[in-house]
Chains A and B, each alone.
Chain A
Amino acid sequence: MAEKSGADILVDTLVEQGVEVIFGYPGGAVLPIYDAIFEHPKIRHILVRHEQAATHAAEGYARATGKPGVVLVTSGPGATNAVTGITDAFMDSIPMVVITGQVPTPLIGSDAFQEADTVGITRHCCKHNYLVKDPAKLGAVMHEAFFIATHGRPGPVVVDIPKDVQVAKGSPSAAPVSSHKSYRPKTSANTAEVDAALDLIAKADAPIFYTGGGIINSGPEASASLRRIAELTGAPVTSTLMGLGAFPATSPQWMGMLGMHGTYEANMAMNRADLVICLGARFDDRVTGRLDAFSPDSTKIHVDIDRSSINKTVAVDLPIVADVGDFLDALCARWEERKLEGRDLSEWWARIKGWRATECLAYPEHDKLIMPQRAIENLFKATRDHNPIITTEVGQHQMWAAQHFHFDDPNKWLTSGGLGTMGYGLPAAIGAQIAFPDALVIDIAGEASIQMNIQELATATQYRLPVKIFILNNEYMGMVRQWQELTYESRYSSSYSDALPDFVKLGEAYGWTGIRIDKPEELDSGIETMINTDGPVIVDCRVAKLANCFPMIPSGAAHTEMLLQADEVSGKMDDEAKALV
């Protein structure tokens, strides 16, 4: 076979992997690769305005499509700027392949211009990484990288390629792989495990499904199987932030999100359940609250593809290492084979009805000010028929969106859960819009978060992406301010968003349509205008400045100690609680 340059081999493997889009930013150490993709017939390159945004855009693309996102950045600052997004993808199990340029091999270790130890820096924030020193090995490494990123628990894989390796020639002999010599994750549950789970489910009086992002990662079939088993058992379903959309919010069995800003009924049901069936979730601290008070009397089943997620923070009774989709499929099949009957859960549902009567998501209305919850609720009502893709930044607006925007399908809710990265939402929306050019894609943002990757307004303009940004502008880093009210007697240390730009004019400067919504009576018409305007729109929605996000489990508290409204806030906490994140 004729020899090819490393850059050409790389691009060939991308085509073989079915890659259609790369998000990236050029620089000295990746020029040979950029030349190889110049006017490429199959691979489209999306030029972002900052490498962090390339990684979040790739995450948004991956989360919306289920396909791995691909990033291409240069050495040194290109790679270090990408680190936040790589870490974000690692925490949220997003499949991603990040190609970084590196200084030529003879210069490695010499503190050369734009040199950074990329494999060293990214070693513990990605699933795996490589430094490729031989163009002949590049093809095999790339195929392996895609295999690792998409198999087992998905995650980001970094491939660092020195410039001389991109230029040098080698024999392109690799093909996509379907197995790996040492990485062989267990993906199926055996029948004994499935039956053991069914035995527990069949005799539970107060069961609850606690589902997570693993269901979404497993694919739409997993969501379908979850709906099926929920129907068969009649049990309530709650979800983590990452799992929203796996189970339809319109189902009467839907309990809402659980955890710190979850619903009262979901958290009370977790606390009182006699069986918790955890599917593709990981007992994160935002979910469990105080560990020694977490669901104290329940038997726990935990299904996860990553063995290290099991018994990490909460000890479980039936651990099952498996792909949650495979497991649910087998669970439904065995339920029918064994002709099991759904148990009478009417007593359990009566208790749940009692908790629901709290109406924990209710909020005080105001006739002169737009309540942020109201803004989300109306945005949801106005857009639900469009089946929108929603991205968020991080903070109060994110939690309000999780509470008041409702999803019936997977892959429609893209948010930074594990790492909590402000600045995620706009580039993620760009990535999702690239994948679905005709979809309504809305970044629900805060005025502080949106400024963390505001330069991406230009990316949307360049590629004519009709992304919408809906800013809940309360002139505060709202979640920081809320915690300062709860914990530090309202000493607002550096949480006021001073010197804010005029977002309408800022949007216009980038070629966007800008809309300001000031008063409650303008809310619905403003949202309508946003939906009906072609091209990108930035909405500056001025909301009540001091509204806080409730219900809330304060750090270090139990599920049963939820604060339902602001008047329950004391303003002081002991050191034990202060020390928790």
Chain B
Amino acid sequence: MHIKETDPERHVLTVTVDNEAGILARIAGMFTARGYNIESLTVADVTEDHAISRITIVTNGPPHVIEQIIAQLDRLVPVHKVADLTDIGPHVQRELALVKVAGVGEHRIEALRLAEVYRASVVDATTESFIFELTGAPDKIQSFIDLMRQVGLVEVGRTGVVAIVRGKEAS
């Protein structure tokens, strides 16, 4: 016999939680324990008193798995709210990347030119390298990194996605 796989869908979830010790392990561990995928996960506290954190999780799975993920998150005691932005509708997704490129001559000039096209800013420079800072949707970040590979990419740091619904309402 062979293990069968099913077609996944990408979903962006935001989870509002108590900012307490172990919360990240609780959430991440639930994903591994139940065999769900995490593409990216970001977390930071978002209220004045630092009591509440917002976690953005990009996951993928068939629709019934996504429904289960949301239900499983929702029953964790410190979870206040789970929102499926992919399901809710139009939303903004942003990610920040720091991209280090090293090289001289044509490669160095090309890297700088591409960075301008992508509106990446230079946050560090030596005569042989740049660090670019780039903010954007994940596919924009990805295509910039793919281009940098051809002109001397050294390393990349990415924050993972944060997202928020468009319009005046909260999710």
Contact = CB atoms under 8 A, between A and B. Distances in A.
A179 to B, nearest CB: 13
B25 A123 contact: yes
Contacts of A182: 17-18, 77-80
B40 interface: no
B71 A123 contact: no
A127 B79 CA distance: 13
Nearest to B25: A123
A307 B75 contact: yes
Prevailing SS type, chain A contact patch: loop
B68 A575 contact: no
A570 interface: no
Nearest to B3: A579
B17 to A, nearest CB: 8
B74 interface: yes
B86 interface: no
Contacts, number: 50
A47 interface: no
Given A128-B77, A308-B71, A576 B64 contact: no
B83 interface: no
Interface residues of B, number: 22
A307 B71 contact: yes
Contacts of A185: 75
B72 interface: yes
Centre residue among A148, A152, A182 by max chain B CB count within 10 A: A182
Given A124-B30, A307-B71, A579-B1, A131 B21 contact: yes
A574 B2 CA distance: 12
Contacts of B71: 307-308, 310, 312
Contacts of A576: 1
Interface string B60-90: 0000100110011011111110000000000
Contacts of A119: 22
A182 B51 CA distance: 12
A152 B79 CA distance: 15
A306 interface: yes
B33 interface: yes
A308 B22 contact: no
Contacts of A131: 21-22
Nearest to B77: A128
A123 B22 contact: yes
Contacts of B18: 181-182
Interface residues of A, number: 26
A124 to B, nearest CB: 5
B8 interface: no
B79 A306 contact: no
A308 B78 CA distance: 16
Nearest to A312: B68
A153 B21 CA distance: 24
- Candidate in A148, A153, A307, A576 with the most chain B CB atoms within 10 angstroms: A307
Interface string B11-41: 0000001100110011001100100000000
A262 B99 CA distance: 62
Nearest to A127: B77
A307 B25 CA distance: 22
Contacts of A124: 29-30, 33
Nearest to B34: A124
A310 B70 CA distance: 12
Contacts of B30: 124
Interface string B76-119: 11111000000000000000000000000000000000000000
A123 B29 contact: yes
A120 interface: yes
Contact of B25 (A120, A128, A311): A120
Contact of B68 (A152, A311, A574, A579): A311
B29 A308 contact: no
Interface in B131-149: none
Interface in A169-198: 180-183, 185
A148 B77 contact: yes
Contact of A311 (B21, B29, B64, B77): B64
A315 interface: yes
A131 B21 CA distance: 9
Contacts of B80: 181-182
Contacts of B21: 131
A313 B95 CA distance: 35
B72 A308 contact: yes
Nearest to B67: A311
A183 B74 CA distance: 9
B169 to A, nearest CB: 21
Nearest to A120: B25
8 contacts: A123-B26, A124-B29, A131-B21, A181-B18, A182-B17, A182-B79, A310-B71, A311-B64
Nearest 6 interchain pairs by C-beta? A308-B71, A575-B1, A128-B77, A182-B80, A307-B71, A183-B77
Interface of A: 119-120, 123-124, 127-128, 131, 148, 152-153, 180-183, 185, 306-308, 310-312, 315, 574-576, 579
Given A128-B78, A152-B75, A310-B71, 10 more contacts: A123-B26, A123-B29, A124-B30, A131-B21, A181-B18, A181-B80, A182-B77, A182-B78, A307-B71, A311-B64
